[in-house]
Structures are given as C-alpha cells and as structure tokens.
Amino acid sequence: MTQFKYVILQLDEKIEFVEMPSTHAYQLSALNRRLHKELDKLTADNAPKLPIAIAECDNLESIQEGIKITDGLTYMSGLEKEFSSTEETSYPLISLLTEIRALLAQLEQWYEEEVEA
C-alpha cells in the first residue's frame, strides 16, 4: 500500500497541502528551504512568491469543505514553470531549476512505477 506524507505550505494567509510519496516529502521540505535561502538573491521583477514549508504530517483529514490537496507532481510542475519563466539576469537561476527538475523527475518516475504496480 502506498504511503503518503503531506507537506503544509503557507504564503501570507493561504495554506496549501501537498501530498507527496512518504519517501520524497522530506525532499520537498528541504528544497523549499534551499529556495528560500536563494530567493532574496534574485533580481528579476517577476521572481516567484514562494510559500514556506511549515509542517509535514503522515495523515491529513480535512474538516473544512473546499480544502484542496495538491499532488506532488502537480505542485512541482507548477514550481518548475514559475522558476523557468523568471527573467533573471544576475543570479545563476539554472542551479535552482536543476534542483527543482531533479525532484520533478524523481516524482515522475515514482508515479510511473506506481501505475505499473
């Protein structure tokens, strides 16, 4: 049976729940911390606004209607699009994109293996 973890992200007042394979949740949290360390170095006008990972949990039960849980693949695809569309000239954005794309590739492989199983 597939086990998931949930990474809880916050941007201003908005809370987002991202469902990740339990084997990859820590990678999203670590990537989020790394991106936040580098975000202030970006000089582009369209630099992404990135939520902060505030918690991880094994189980998530929503008691409020309308709470949306985003799967990790969808979240990472969106993150990659945001960073790849950033018009950065001063900071080597490629290193951040490489890290984002590495986790995205791992998730794509994981989901592919799950479908086959």
Give yes or no for a contact between 89 and 37, defined as CB atoms under 8 angstroms apart.
no
pLDDT, tens digit (0-9, with 9 covering 90-100), for 89-102: 777 788 899 999 99
Confidence of residue 62 (pLDDT cuts 50, 70, 90): confident
Total structural domains in the chain?
A: 1
Burial label for 7, CB within 10 Å (0-12, 13-18, 19+), is buried
Q: What is the predicted pLDDT for the residue at 27? A: 97
Quick check: 2 pLDDT over 80? no
pLDDT digits (tens, 9 = 90+) for 4-35: 999 999 999 999 999 999 999 999 999 999 99
66 is in which domain, residue-wise?
4-116
C-alpha pair distances (Å), 70 with each of 34, 37, 43, 63, 73: 21, 24, 29, 16, 8
The reported pLDDT for the residue numbered 88 is: 84
Highest averaged pLDDT of the listed ranges 19-23, 63-67, 113-117:
19-23
- pLDDT over 90 at 40, yes or no: no
